[in-house]
Amino acid sequence: MVTQTAMFRLCSRLVRRGLKGMYLLALCFSNGEASVDICGQPTVDSHVSMAYFNHDRSSVDRGNGTTDQENFHFDLQFELNDKLSVGAAHQYTILNVDAIEPQTNGHLHTIYLPLHRQIRSDRGSFRLSIAPALSASSNVVKDPGEYNGDALQLLAAVVWSRQSSERLSFRYGICSDHRFGRYAVYPSIGIDWQLHPDWTIDLGFPSSRLTYQVSNNLDSVLGIAPDGNEWHVMDSELQRQSRFVYESLLLEWVVNWKTQEHLVVTFGVGRQFHNRYEMTLIDNSRVHVRGDPVTRVGLALAWFF
Question: Cβ-count burial of 121 within 10 angstroms (0-12 exposed, 13-18 middle, 19+ buried)?
Answer: exposed
pLDDT at 37: 80
**Each residue of 162-199: pLDDT tens digit?**
988 888 999 999 999 999 999 999 999 999 999 998 99
**At a CB cut-off of 8 Å and minimum separation 6, what does 261 contact?**
20
Q: Cα 237 to the chain's mean position, in Å?
A: 32
What angle separates helix 22-30 from helix 5-16, to the nearest 10 degrees? 130
pLDDT at 105: 87
pLDDT at 270: 97
pLDDT at 60: 87
Report the distance separating Cα 176 and Cα 39, nearest Å: 7
Q: What share of the chain is helix, strand, coil (3-state, %, to 5)?
A: 10, 60, 30
pTM as predicted: 0.85
Spans of the chain below 70 pLDDT: 1-36, 62-63
Domains and CATH numbers, the chain: 5-304 (2.40.160.40)
**Each residue of 9-52: pLDDT tens digit?**
433 343 333 333 333 443 334 343 434 688 888 877 899 999 99
How long is the chain? 305
